[in-house]
Amino acid sequence: LWRQCGRRVHGERVKWPSFGPRHRGSGTARMSASLVRATVRAVSKRKLQPTRAALTLTPSAVNKIKQLLKDKPEHVGLKVGVRTRGCNGLSYTLEYTKTKGDSDEEVVQDGVRVFIEK
């Protein structure tokens, strides 16, 4: 795995990892080029894992949202958000929405769409 280089440092031969073919130039360039190739190979073989949904609805919540949206056919889902209120800090908001906002995250579960404000 290691091969010897023709250079000497303080009287000893320097060993470089043998990741690939030797390059002319400084030992640093050889070492960094080898590490870059090894890094690219390692990163390119990673498997992408699917992200988990930001929100999970229970079956009774799905049924209730479907029931609420049935009375409002012009709306496509519910929007959940957080607002600053009063001296204690934050409160949650829940409202009907007709469109998805540019920065909203969409969660679709069992035919129900919920948008989370970012």
pLDDT at 7 over 70: no
* Domains of the chain, earliest start first: 2-44 (no CATH), 59-116 (2.60.300.12)
3-state SS string for 3-62: EEEEEEECCEEEEEECCCCCCCCCHHHHHHHHHHHHHHHHHHCCCCCCCCCCCCCCHHHH
Query: How confident is the model over 10-30, as pLDDT tens digits?
Result: 555 555 555 555 555 555 555
* pLDDT digit string, tens, across residues 45-59: 666 676 777 888 999
Q: What is the pLDDT of residue 2?
A: 46
pLDDT at 63 (0 to 100): 95
Per residue in 58-100, pLDDT (tens digit) is 999 999 999 999 999 999 999 999 988 878 788 889 999 999 9
